[in-house]
Every structure is written in structure tokens, then in C-alpha cells.
Amino acid sequence: MFLEDGPAGGWYRPAPGRRRIRLGLAAESPQEATMDIHENILSAIGHTPLVKLNKLVGPNDATVLVKCEFMNPGASIKDRMALYIIEKAEREGKLKPGGTIVENTSGNTGMGVALAAAVKGYKCIFTMPDKMSLEKINRLKALGAQVVVTPTNVPAEDPRSYYETAKRIHRETPGAFMLNQYHNPDNIEAHYKITGPEIYEQTEGKVDYFVSGLGTGGTMSGAGKYLKEKVPGLKNVGVDPVGSVYEGYFKTGKLSTPHVYKVEGIGEDMLCGAMDFKVVDDVRQVDDKQCFVAARRLAREEGIFAGGSAGAAVHVAVQLAKEVGKGKTIVVVLPDSGMVYISKFHSDEWMRDNGFLEEKGAGTVRDILGDKRGEVRTARKGDRVDLVVEQMRQHGISQMPVLTPEGQAVGMIHEYDLLNSLVANKARFSDSIDAIVAPLQGVVSPDTSLNRLREIFAQDNVAVVKEGEKIIGILTKIDLIDHLHRNAA
């Protein structure tokens, strides 16, 4: 059986699925002639190690333990959820022998499904966005799956998107079963019953923060919920790439306009049913460069070869470790392996071609901040419209970050949005600005390249410069033009 009763009412996939088998070997005792082996590759899923980071954190930082999910047979955490949903569907009669499994995937869920399908005798059809690495596509084909590649830069509801294409194939294929990982509560249940208890047992409950990237939301919603129930005071920190909708929605309750980002496996352009924000204490944003640089450092300094979503989580965890300090323990999920990104960010050429590995003298946001230092004018949640308008007028600015009383940035207030709301009678000068606040867009770090800054300005955004959780600058097109003019002189 895949599931057994676990400790304290939890469920987990036990190490059984293995059995001791007598081999025909010469030995002094029967015990010496036996070995622990797995019945098949599926029983090898789970029980991945926790590994302490040593070089990426300092002596006065919190302890950071990484959960090496790339050591699953399919090289990602998605093996857990895929097998759980498939076996539950079998028990409930939703998936019949010889059936077809259809799913939209960024590659990792597909790999987990394809492994199970190979063992159990199912056919697979997957849809994948065209931004995914060729390695991810080819390994699914190597396991006998059919892969339909769809355009990345289309809305989720577009019939060409990988979501809608999978739904269409599911409707048109007799007897097909669709995991529906993005909205299936069994995604959450898998991590609540398996991943969460496993982490709790490994740490003996001595964990203060749980850090996980937000994609479908299943890992955070399931494992995060279990850990919160078992460990009083534990904080769950989600990680979201710039361009995704989660961070803005968590902080403002509004959906921002998504845009394309390069890191794979985290972030969404829609809200997923498997994402339960009630268990989340904080969501932090990372840009593509931060994800890739952290993943490359993880490989080169810690010997841990993981993907870009792992880099995103590690980047946030290392920041958090400095903030909370020695004596705390942070568990971080590393969702997948670096092996499927060798032609992407683990390649110097790819990093250079995409502006993430700077040529000498190419320039970064830090260079512009050197020309433009000063206090960042901010508004607070609950501020009145008239007071914010007056502050903008006094300081000659057209937008301001909006902070919580604790100083955490939750969005931006723009003069254009103020004007529209006032003219349309959707707001009065005596009202709070809260209903007008827009999600943060164009978030960069001091190390972001000037090429990336140019891309942000091309989308008609200002650039919000964050160092950790603190906003240290607001840059506009004229700031970049002025910087280029100064350096051309």
C-alpha cells in the first residue's frame, strides 16, 4: 500500500514497498545474504535528505537545511504528488487499467506521472509551454509520453495555453484521466500527509521557518499546513518570481498583470485552487537573475546541483537567515535537479546571452543608485487620498511605494490611478488609498543589469529597487537616460 497510518495522525509513504530478498550469495549467515531492495521504482519516492548549507550562510546566521527533492527517482518533488493522485484515482475508479493520463506540466509533474505510467501501464499526453528546457521535453518522450508544446506568452484562458490545450485533449480522449494539479485538493493532501510529516520527523519538530516556492501551491499549502499545526510559532514563507501574480495578491488582495519570466517551475499567471494563502505568513519576490545566481552558487559552493526554483528559495532563505540570526532553523525545499537546465542557466553562454552574466563594465542598477541617492518617499496603508496627493505635489513625484505599519512594501500608488479613481467618483479625497493601491511591478535588486532595467521600462513600469525587504530606490526612464549621458561624457 502506498499510504499507511503515520505518527500523530499524519499519513506518509513508508520505507516499505521495499522488502528483504534472499540472494544466491555465499555467506556465513542468512542475514549476510539478504539486501533491502525496492519492489519497483515508485517505492523509492520520498525520504529525501535534509542537508545543511555551510558556505552560503555566515556563522551568525540561522541554520539553513535544504530538502533535496531532486533525489526522487524523477528528480523532483512532483513525484510525490503525481503518484499520490494516480493511486487515489485508481482506488476511486477514476483511472482504469490501460487508460490515458493527460496533464499540463512545466516538466516535473510530467516526469512523475510518466514514471508511474511506465510501471503501471498507462499512456501519457502532456502539454508544456515553449519556454521549458529541451531536456525536460526530451526526457518525457524518452519515457514514452506524447508532448504537445504550446506558446508561453498567452493568457491562461487562451485556447492555445497549455492549461486549455490539456483540457481539450482530456475532453477528446475517451477514458482519459487528468490530474488537474493546479486545482486538485489532492495535490495539497499529498504534501500534508507525506512531505510535511517527513520534514517534521527529520527535524524532530525543531524548525522555525519553512521556505518554499509557489507554483501550483501544493507543497506550501500541504506541508506548510502540517508543519504549522505541529510546530507552534512556525512561519511559512512563500517565494514568487517577479512577473507572477502571487506576491501582489498576497499583499494587496488584487491580481497584477502577469508578464513572462525565465525561471521555471514557480509562479503563476492565475490563482490556483491548490494555493491556500491562509497557511502563508509572508511572500517574497525574486527576479530571474537572483534565482539563477543562487542556483549556480549552490552548485559551485555547496556541491548541490539544483534548478532555478531551488535558487529562488535559497536566495530568500539566505536573506532570512541573516535577518533572524543564529539559533533559528530554516527548512527550504529544493524542488528539482539542475540536470535539466544545463543548456540554460547552468551555461555561462546562456547566462551571458540573456543578460544575467555581465560582461566587464556592463553596468547594474547599483551604478545608477550611486548617481541618485536619497530618501524614498512612501505612503502607508490607510493614508488618506488628499494627504498622499499633497505629498506627491510637494516632492514632485508621480508614484510612491505603500507600506504596512511594520514597514513591509505591499504595493504602489500612482498618480494616474489616483486621477482615474477621483474623476470616476470611485474615490474621494477623504477616503483611504487602500482600494487604489496597485501591486508592485518592476521589482529589481541593486545587482540587476541595465539590460533588464531597459526591459522593465519597455513595459511602461518604473523600477522598484529592493535590497532584502527594504525599498532603497525608485528608478524611471529618465534616470537611466541621465546615467548613460553622464557616463558618455
Count, in order, helices (H) and strands (E) of the chain: 17, 20
Instruction: Please work out, in degrees rounded to the nearest 5, the angle formed at the alpha carbon of residue 66 by the alpha carbons of 213 and 249.
Output: 15
Q: Which residues contact 144 (CB under 8 A, 6 or more apart)?
A: 114, 117, 118, 123, 124
Residue of 95, 96, 98 lying closest to 123 (CA atoms): 98
Instruction: Give the dihedral of Cα atoms 223, 224, 229, 235; nearest 10 deg.
Output: 150
CA 472 to chain centre: 24
Residue type, 333: V
Rounded Cα distance between 118 and 100, Å, is: 12
Of residues 52, 55, 67, 78, which has the active-site annotation?
78
Task: State the DSSP H helix or E strand holding residue 158, giving kind and residue range, or none if neither.
Answer: none
78 flagged as catalytic: yes
Grid-cell match 512563500, residue found: 238
Contact yes or no for 412/398 (Cβ under 8 A): no
Treating both helix axes as pointing N-terminal to C-terminal, what angle do 108-120 and 134-142 enclose, rounded to 10 degrees?
10
Residue of 315, 293, 292, 296 lying closest to 304 (CA atoms): 296
Contact yes or no for 298/272 (Cβ under 8 A): no
Rounded Cα distance between 87 and 93, Å, is: 10
The count of other CB atoms within 10 Å of the CB of residue 406 is 6
How does 209-229 read in b/e, with b if 16+ C-beta sit within 10 Å? bbbbbbbbbbbbbbbbbbbbb
Strand, coil or helix: 14: coil
Dmax over Cα atoms in the chain, in whole Å? 91
If you compute the radius of gyration of the chain from its CA atoms, what whole number of angstroms results?
A: 24
Q: Which residues contact 385 (CB under 8 A, 6 or more apart)?
A: 418, 421, 422, 427, 428, 429, 430, 431, 432, 433, 436
Residue of 354, 335, 337 lying closest to 345 (CA atoms): 354
Residue type, 395: H
Which residues are bridge partners to 4 per DSSP? 12
Rounded Cα distance between 351 and 349, Å, is: 5
Q: Which residues are catalytic?
A: 78
